[in-house]
Structure 1
């Protein structure tokens, strides 16, 4: 009898266990949130290696479109940098993610980028300060505020071409345009014109960006460890400038300069205190690095496409010559002149569509999101990408064709052309970049004609499209009529 009850007890325990397992699986299956379609990839590393390889080889578009085809043309999941990712695709995905900015998502960067740029993780402690700093940056970079810099950019472009281009029959465009964009950024953001300091910034930027393209291994002698060191040096350099500027402000009892740094230093909180120096330094460092590769890459792409499409070059030349003829002998460009460069800006936009200076941006989900019937949990990371729209025939017919007329009239459909992002978190430097690009193109096309040295030069895709040899060209001074 005891043996019978023992068997009965074991059978009861087994049945209860099976029922528990069944209901656990059932409840988990039907109560767990429905996640975006996709896959995590390999354990721990996910699809990071595939994504990194795609970025380096210029195959981000392929990486994205393959998964759009396999999982969903609107949204898919992956795993990058040891994080769960929701990748938003198409115009509707861009619209949704851009419209949730400041509400349900916040900017986010992979840890290796934060380390290389020396942006401390404790910056979350300065969240309120960063909000105030960003508001001031946006104010400084408004079109009406930037108008006064058009003549300065024009003057700097003329000087740059006279010194770095005119004496030579052959030049490399990319490294020279980087010199120009660094000089302009330092002049506008921190009012630095000293050649020695500009060279230091250029060297720091080069080491940092080189390290960002390497494997993120913090061992002595690696490019990544050098990038971390250079990131610290960059921050120290900017902090030194901040302290110098503070002394100048104390001595003059007021704003002696009109650059961005001075504006940020004059922000006072409710307690009568200025903003944290490190917060300001990080904000300035971000602006300087952000303008280093992107604008120079776009200018280089425009000059490359103008060589490849003579009819486009002729239209740009015609527009710019008309503007030049309307100016006096030593008269610099004005804001009104920039507004006349409509066709040239269409060309620049088409260059950014085909060769975007940035592939997209990361966000962190701060509140659980529901999109297209699926859940994106709090803490997941989100990514928007130009690859899902810029060459999508749904939005741009014959997408591989270089056609500036796409931007005439009302231009492309909303949220399809997004080199600067969109919504509240749109790149604050959009108008600044437009002025810098147009001013430089005006000076180049009214001064030179050029031809490619190597018609088949390969385009690499580092942080931005990069001609393998720096895009060397033969220069010929333009004959004056």
Structure 2
């Protein structure tokens, strides 16, 4: 077993042990234990956390559910377990997804570990419950398709510059290149930062924030989590300074104020009677940076992987993208109309997101006792949906390990079977942002290069998002013919 996995499991054990003894803030109501879902809570203190992490590391999280859901002949659709010191019910299949999506704020509410609040803190404990809906509305104004379409040329411009700077060589390690690319884009789109040195300085701190957000919450000197908290303070202080400067500007026009997310945040905060402090805005912005880069990186890496691995898919994408390139004047930037023509490319992106979803799934908390499939889920229990389990279920996707973009032709998959960005009221507000960036990147990639994997069977792990362990090194073969792209 890999030494990194052993260390992860050891830290998981410490964390669960600590969680058990400090007690839960919400005590589960176990008045009717006879009707609880089937399943086991596993080992004392540890629950089934070790097996869960083990299957993540081996890249098969769906097996955790498949082994516990009553088998193919008698699936229960729900089972109980214990993860990270929490009583937890796992909902299975499209039916479970639909139930969770449909009962947001009725039976369940968003839940995540308290450790997240230490990296992205707010000025009061009730911020996420009372004020988060206002924040979401403000962010959605920026991320809706009508607003984003004016940013597509900017995305294309940044992508072209990235290609010149970081892909003008024989070989590229895709994962680190994507991290730099998405962070540079976020700096431009969210904060209007163009200075490369300043972007790189912020990226150094952000790297620690990103690693800490997916680490075990052990706040001891030298730990990944401790470094994340320190890096978060540095970044929030820098963004807060920008917030104050922007608030004090009086000579900017309304058009200029709507050119980045920070301007939307400040303007929206004023419309809602300044419910956020400058520190709150900085913390929200940092959270959006994380959400707008971390999972996007996963999608971009694996789309690139499949394009390099499957020549017939690459050739079809190239054919579609060349038609678009030929319709443009030399150096002309992409528009929303161009992206709408990328139908096969979008199917490829969706199939990559199906096989390697960026997110493990969703976590919720029961806000009242309720029953599901005849079993009681007590108030205070946590609920979890494992994305891979639905995405790789042959009931919904025959031959699920096969890469087949045709699954998304016509009406596409059945409802509640494909949800790389979540669903219901809590669907990721940045899903359109992610799709647009991915399509712009694919266009620039395939019209410039034919790509070749350097490690044919590179191992994929999930910790907790999928990643090739060697960073996906690829060889670039530039096309000899120009395709109306400014070099």
Output the TM-score relative to the length of structure 2: 0.87
Alpha-carbon deviation of 1:209? 3.0
1:33 is displaced (CA, Å) by 6.4
Contact kept in structure 2, 1:457 and 1:469, CA below 8 Å: yes
Tell me the equivalent position of 1:90.
93
- Counterpart for residue 147 of structure 1: 149
* Distance in 2 separating the partners of 1:348 and 1:125: 35
Pick closer, same or farther for the CA change 1:455–1:198 going to 2, 3 Å.
same
2:443 aligned with 1:442:
yes
CA deviation string 1:134-176 (max 9, x = no partner): 111122211111100111101111111011112x111111111
CA contact (8 A) 2:86 2:381 kept: yes
Moved more, 175-184 or 227-236: 227-236
Counterpart for residue 112 of structure 2: 109
Task: Measure how far apart 1:245 and its partner are.
Answer: 1.6
What root-mean-square deviation, in Å, do the aligned CA atoms of Structure 1 and Structure 2 show? Answer: 2.3
1:163 corresponds to: 165
Q: For 1:401 and 1:454, how far apart are their aligned partners in 2?
A: 20
1:329-385: CA deviations, max 9, x gaps? 121101000000000010011111111111112112222222111221221111112
Cα distance change on mapping 1:87 and 1:119 into 2, 3 Å: farther
Q: CA deviation at 1:272?
A: 4.1
Residue of structure 1 equivalent to 2:36: 35
For residue 74 of structure 1, what is the aligned residue in structure 2?
77
SS of match in other structure, 1:51: helix
Q: In the aligned structure 1, how far is the partner of 2:362 from the partner of 2:75?
A: 20
Partner of 2:485: none
Which residue is equivalent to 1:131? 133
User: Which position in structure 1 is the counterpart of 2:5?
Assistant: none
Q: How many residues align?
A: 451
Q: Is the 8 A contact 1:35 1:376 kept in 2?
A: yes
Matches within 5 A, 1:118-267: 118-120=120-122, 122-125=124-127, 127-166=129-168, 168-248=169-249, 250-252=250-252, 254=254, 256-257=256-257, 258-267=259-268
Moved more, 253-262 or 278-287: 253-262
The answer to whether the 8 Å contact 2:61/2:389 transfers is no
Residues 330 and 122 of structure 1: CA distance in aligned 2, closer, same or farther (over 3 Å)? same
Aligned-partner Cα distance in 2 for 1:259–1:445: 29
Residue 64 of structure 2 aligns to a residue whose secondary structure is: helix
Q: Deviations over 1:393-447 (max 9, x none)?
A: 0000011111000000000101101111111100111000000000000001001
SS in 2 for 1:159: helix
Distance in 1, matches of 2:164 and 2:412, equals 36
The equivalent residue for 1:19 is none
Kept after mapping to 2: 8 A contact 1:33/1:374: no
- Give, in whole Å, the separation in 1 of the partners of 2:178 and 2:32: 56
Provide the C-alpha distance between the structure 1 equivalents of 2:323 and 2:432, rounded to a whole number of angstroms. 23
Kept in 1: contact 2:56–2:461 (CA 8 A)? no
Shift of 1:253: 7.2
| Larger gyration radius, structure 1 or structure 2 | 1
Q: Which residue of 2 aligns with 1:407?
A: 408
Instruction: Identify the residue that residue 423 of structure 1 maps to in structure 2.
Output: 424
Distance 1:231 1:41, change over 3 A: farther
Distance 1:301 1:327 in 2: 28
Aligned counterparts of 2:100 and 2:128: Cα–Cα separation in 1: 25
Cα deviation digits, residues 229-269 of structure 1 (max 9, x gap): 22222322322221222122x45475633211111111256
Name the structure 2 match of 1:287: 288
5+ long unaligned stretches in structure 1:
1-27
Give the CA deviation at 1:96. 0.4
Structure 1 residues 129, 211: closer, same or farther in 2, change over 3 A? closer
> Secondary structure at 1:475's aligned position in 2?
strand
For the pair 1:451 / 2:452, whether they are aligned, the reply is: yes
* 2:365 is the counterpart of 1:364: yes
Shift of 1:103: 2.4
Superposition deviation, residue 29 in structure 1? 11
TM (normalized to structure 1)?
A: 0.88
Question: How far, CA to CA, are the matches of 1:55 and 1:246 in structure 2?
Answer: 44
Q: Sort the Cα spacing of 1:131 and 1:312 in 2 relative to 1 into closer, same or farther, 3 A.
A: same
Matched residue of 2:68: which SS?
helix
In structure 2, C-alpha distance between the alignment counterparts of 1:270 and 1:245, rounded to whole Å: 16
